[in-house]
Structure 1
Amino acid sequence: MSSDLIPDFELASTSNKLFRLSDIKSRYLVIFFYPKDDTPGCTNESQQFRDLYPEFVQMDCEVVGISRDNLKSHEKFREKYDLPYDLLSDNGETVCELFGVIKMKNMYGKQVRGIERSTFVLDREGKLYNAWRGVKVPGHAEEVLTFIKSISAV
């Protein structure tokens, strides 16, 4: 378990909201960074968090997704897949840099800068509890939920 304190940040969010880390009132916050709206892996991951969302809420845990896509793209993605949580737009990459998720990746033989699929769990004070980097989608949301259940029992 890490004791890193994440500095407060704010990003534009779906539902015409401004997300501010310091405004989170739930006991825990899951932030998952994903490369791009409406792509196969990102859609699958988002749907897994959607399907388990009621269980996260039961554990007093909020979930948000972050990518560099704009809000219009996020709103379409959220509506298309009926995502119950907000998506945050970080097209300036400030929060991506804060969490160190921007990486050089190979895409079709070319080096491109992009988001490394990563998930972080924070408490309401902004303390980092756990981080998963280089996430493989299958079963990941379930793994995060299992972790939340384990720390909620403490």
Structure 2
Amino acid sequence: MTTATLGQTVPDFQLPATGDKTLSLADFAGKKLLLYFYPKDNTPGCTQEGQAFRDHIQQFEALNTVILGVSRDSVKMHEGFKCKQGFPFDLLSDQEEQLCQMFDVIKMKNMYGKQVRGIERSTFLIDEAGVLIHEWRKVKVKTHVEEVLQYLQQL
């Protein structure tokens, strides 16, 4: 499995997504693609993060940027989460951790005193030509969307 590296072209991928779609990187040529990885559907932090992207969708669209959420949840789980929250963007199901490994977001985390493997909340910006141009690791939900928008506006 090849990894995505800053300043390099991201290897193409294909994953099942909401809306009965299979999406690949090639589908977004000519647009910026913002991939945000989150641990789990319907949990407080992940819900807040998704809502923040949802509430700013017009600003992202004005900056020629498509948003995709990614977690290891099933498409069926994603459909419910997307519908309940009114997300105007698709969610990718990465149950085999193909994209998670490509972007190195699976980390050991402490959960209620136990070590568990999980997704470290992270966001990646891929430019119109498919090059990884920025990454945000260990994302703090409260300020994250504003940080991403500020970065996009400076491009």
Normalised by the size of structure 2, how large is the TM-score?
Answer: 0.94
Q: Which runs of 5+ in 2 are unaligned?
A: 1-5
Asked if the contact 2:122–2:137 (Cα under 8 Å) also holds between the matched residues in 1, the reply is: yes
Match of 2:3 in 1: none
Does residue 117 of the first structure (1) align with residue 121 of the second (2)?
yes
Q: 1:26 Cα shift?
A: 4.2
| Whole-angstrom distance in 1 between the partners of 2:54 and 2:147 | 14
Q: What secondary structure does 1:74 align onto? A: helix
Q: 1:34 Cα shift?
A: 0.1
Does residue 39 of the first structure (1) align with residue 47 of the second (2)?
no
Residues 2-151 of structure 1 aligned to structure 2 (within 5 Å): 2-151=6-155
- 1:78–1:26 Cα change, 3 Å: farther
Structure 2 residue identity aligned to 1:90 = D
Structure 1 residue identity aligned to 2:16 = A
| CA RMSD in angstroms, aligned pairs only | 0.8
Q: Which runs of 5+ in 1 are unaligned?
A: none
| Whole-angstrom distance in 2 between the partners of 1:62 and 1:39 | 23
Q: State, as a whole percentage, how many aligned pairs show the same letter.
A: 51
Asked if the contact 2:30–2:129 (Cα under 8 Å) also holds between the matched residues in 1, the reply is: no
Asked if the contact 1:26–1:61 (Cα under 8 Å) also holds between the matched residues in 2, the reply is: no
Asked if the contact 1:26–1:62 (Cα under 8 Å) also holds between the matched residues in 2, the reply is: no
| Whole-angstrom distance in 2 between the partners of 1:62 and 1:13 | 14
Residues paired across the two proteins, number: 150
| Whole-angstrom distance in 1 between the partners of 2:107 and 2:122 | 11
Name segments (4+ residues, structure 1) moved above 2 Å.
none
Q: 1:23 Cα shift?
A: 1.4
